[in-house]
Structure 1
Amino acid sequence: MLALILLTEWSLFIKNTGPLQFYIQAGAYSFPTLAAAIPSSTSNINDFGAMPVAYLKYAPSSDYSVEVGKLPTLIGAEGGFTYQNINIARGLLWDVEPIVSRGVQFNASKGPISASVSLNDGYYSNRYNVMSGLLSYAINGSNTVSFYAEGPLGKVRQPFTAAAYSPTGTSSAIYGVEYVYSAGPWMIEPYMQYMHTPKSIRLSIPHAFSNYGASVLANYSFTNTVSLAGRVEYLGVGGKPGEMLNSTSVASTLTDLPADSHAWSITLTPTYQDGGFFARADLSYVAASAPAGLGLSGGTNTTQLRGMLETGFMF
């Protein structure tokens, strides 16, 4: 499979000075993810709207701030949108994480320590009973370690309407640890993640199950314009075949992998950037071990080879 993505429809409105600030991101976008079919911009806009991220920020000092609105998640090492990441397609671990949540977020920093805590609606459920947090410690100018966690504060109930809602995701607890090394031409970021979903008859989850995985992301800059990024990862998916499957025969785990399966992936992304112009290519491979007759994205294939091209201008 070869896909071409053109990032030419983003508009950013930012005020990042003074005590009252704002951030608005609008446009057409897609969330290409390994082991999943490439979604259309229309389907993603139906989920999160043409303005997926928009929030007000009150920052009375450089050490403290409060944000309210549609906020990017604190969970995971990869951002929601392609231009935020060293690879075009997001990885297997990203697929289980929330992307955008509505709520309020408190940020604070003191010396090498920074922390953020958010009360939000998790996987865009429109029910504000999820707490998430991120704690980072800058060991020195080149090394940083971070911990993140998210989980519901009470029982999750199916809302009447919420296009991007996942009862499985919002009812789950997710934990992770990241380490970032950045010096000279190198950026290396390993992280590990664990997600547990409790049994819930109300949400049609007959058994508790867990997902767990690890990933290493790396980027090497050969020159000021040419770099090569890579990602290697592993994901294990819990559940029982025949009991944890939804109507499309995909495990109710947000992973696009069947229950009781394991998968690993490798991605390489050479990038050229000169001023505001950039062009890059993704070559990725996914291999899964799954119960008989089951595969990726509700099909029977247990491998995926994908090539992608992305180009655009960043100002």
Structure 2
Amino acid sequence: MLGFNEMAPPIADLLKFDINGIASGIGIVQNHAVNGDRSSRADASNGEVVIQKADGLIQYYLQVGAYSIPALGAPYVSSGNAVNQLYGPLPAGYIKIAPTQNFSLLAGNLPTLIGAEYTFTFENVNIERGLLWNQENAINRGVQANYTLGPVSASLSWNNGFYSKSYTWLTGSLAWAINSANTFSFVGGGNVGYSSFSNFATPVLLNNSQIYNIIYTYSNSPWIIQPYFQFTIVPHHPDLGVYKTTSTSGGAILASYALTDNFFRAGRLEGISSSGNASDGSANLLYGPGSEAWSISLTPTYQYKNFFARGEVSFVQAVQYTSGDV
């Protein structure tokens, strides 16, 4: 039997990994809660362990545990419901083959290429996800290829979209790092087939949509500023109740300013609108066909080493909404 030090290098390297943990709680108080939500609650927002090997030919990432997903203008998804009805106790987990510094292949439960916000609270400058994020997929199960050439990086993924049972989504991103502080990205993707599957994790209309982003990122301490534009479209699908092609368009500005090494101030301003009206066969992609919404969030944060505390105040306004859809 071979000992650890006698194993072939690729096999021995697999056992050299880092382990980190995230533990956080959340309390929410709100008025005018959307249908299906409560005016106040407390929950465990993260209780996860991350096992990661980020170098060598064979790499991997495993994120295991419980998580909640708070999002503006939508019912709160508690940690129990998120694990049981969304992505399970292993929401993100993949293997990565990196034969060169410029090229890699990934397979597994992958973070989406779509949008400017991440899925989990600890990954973002704001506690709650935004209105634009509500139109995007979050975790994809599939494969992804990455390639970089100088300041340009590209990714292409074949996956199951909104965590459906059909692998009919194709997404891609193209980013240009102008310099160390400025980056432009174009992201796009959509269902190249058709899927009628629907459950809590897979809203059937969004799973048959196309999504496009233009994202600009400025990162130069003490500022991080990220404006982006998003356009989504759901093609005409009578079998799904979409009798007229329907779209949403929106924009957002995310910003964070480091007051000191320990104090940060973050914010988000966004607006989104949907096409059509209640009588022309358009789908309900927001708060009724033809509805609009905007939001503003302010998130002061204090961090000391590995510990952090932050509060958030948000305001959401729906316009031209359909009664019962908000």
* TM-score under structure 2 length normalisation: 0.84
Alpha-carbon displacement from aligned partner over 1:185-219 (angstroms, at most 9, x marks no partner): 00000000100111101222122111000000000
1:287 pairs with one of 307, 314, 317: 317
**Amino acid corresponding to residue 297 of structure 2 in structure 1:** T
Cα distance in 2 for partners of 1:36, 1:23 equals 29
Cα distance in 2 for partners of 1:34, 1:242 equals 27
Which residue of structure 1 lines up, in the alignment, with residue 22 of structure 2? none
Which residue of structure 2 lines up, in the alignment, with residue 269 of structure 1? 299
Cα distance in 1 for partners of 2:318, 2:200 equals 29
3-state SS in 2 of match to 1:202? helix
Cα distance in 1 for partners of 2:44, 2:69 equals 13
CA contact (8 A) 2:44 2:67 kept: no
* Superposition CA RMSD, Å: 1.8
CA contact (8 A) 2:43 2:79 kept: no
CA contact (8 A) 2:248 2:274 kept: yes
Cα distance in 1 for partners of 2:277, 2:77 equals 27
- Aligned pairs for 1:141-220 within 5 A: 141-154=180-193, 156-159=194-197, 163-220=200-257
Which residue of structure 2 lines up, in the alignment, with residue 302 of structure 1? none
1:102 and 1:252, CA in 2 relative to 1: closer, same or farther beyond 3 A?
Answer: farther
Q: CA deviation at 1:168?
A: 1.1
Q: CA deviation at 1:237?
A: 1.7
Is 1:92 paired with 2:125?
no
1:4 and 1:185, CA in 2 relative to 1: closer, same or farther beyond 3 A?
Answer: farther
1:233 pairs with one of 270, 275, 278: 270
**Amino acid corresponding to residue 146 of structure 1 in structure 2:** S
CA contact (8 A) 1:187 1:218 kept: yes
5+ unaligned residues in a row in structure 1: which ranges? Answer: 246-250, 300-315
**Amino acid corresponding to residue 62 of structure 1 in structure 2:** Q
**Amino acid corresponding to residue 87 of structure 2 in structure 1:** F
3-state SS in 2 of match to 1:233? strand
**Amino acid corresponding to residue 191 of structure 1 in structure 2:** Y
Cα distance in 2 for partners of 1:272, 1:5 equals 20
Alpha-carbon displacement from aligned partner over 1:64-122 (angstroms, at most 9, x marks no partner): 10000111100000001111110000000000000011100000101100011000011
Is 1:12 paired with 2:50?
yes
Cα distance in 2 for partners of 1:175, 1:31 equals 23
Which residue of structure 2 lines up, in the alignment, with residue 111 of structure 1? 150
Higher RCO (CA < 8 A, seq sep 6+): 1
**Amino acid corresponding to residue 311 of structure 2 in structure 1:** A
Alpha-carbon displacement from aligned partner over 1:15-60 (angstroms, at most 9, x marks no partner): 1111111111111111111111212222211221111111111011
Cα distance in 1 for partners of 2:200, 2:270 equals 29
Cα distance in 1 for partners of 2:211, 2:120 equals 21
Is 1:32 paired with 2:62?
no
CA contact (8 A) 2:96 2:106 kept: yes
1:87 and 1:134, CA in 2 relative to 1: closer, same or farther beyond 3 A?
Answer: same
**Amino acid corresponding to residue 126 of structure 2 in structure 1:** N
CA contact (8 A) 2:45 2:79 kept: no
Higher gyration radius (CA): 2
3-state SS in 1 of match to 2:238? coil
CA contact (8 A) 1:244 1:252 kept: no
Cα distance in 2 for partners of 1:29, 1:8 equals 4
3-state SS in 1 of match to 2:228? strand
3-state SS in 1 of match to 2:122? helix
Q: What is the number of equivalent residue pairs in this alignment? A: 287
Identity of aligned residues (%): 40
Cα distance in 1 for partners of 2:231, 2:110 equals 22
1:3 and 1:226, CA in 2 relative to 1: closer, same or farther beyond 3 A?
Answer: farther
CA contact (8 A) 1:157 1:203 kept: no
Which residue of structure 1 lines up, in the alignment, with residue 88 of structure 2? 49
Q: CA deviation at 1:241?
A: 2.1
Q: CA deviation at 1:4?
A: 4.5
- Aligned pairs for 1:128-147 within 5 A: 128-147=167-186
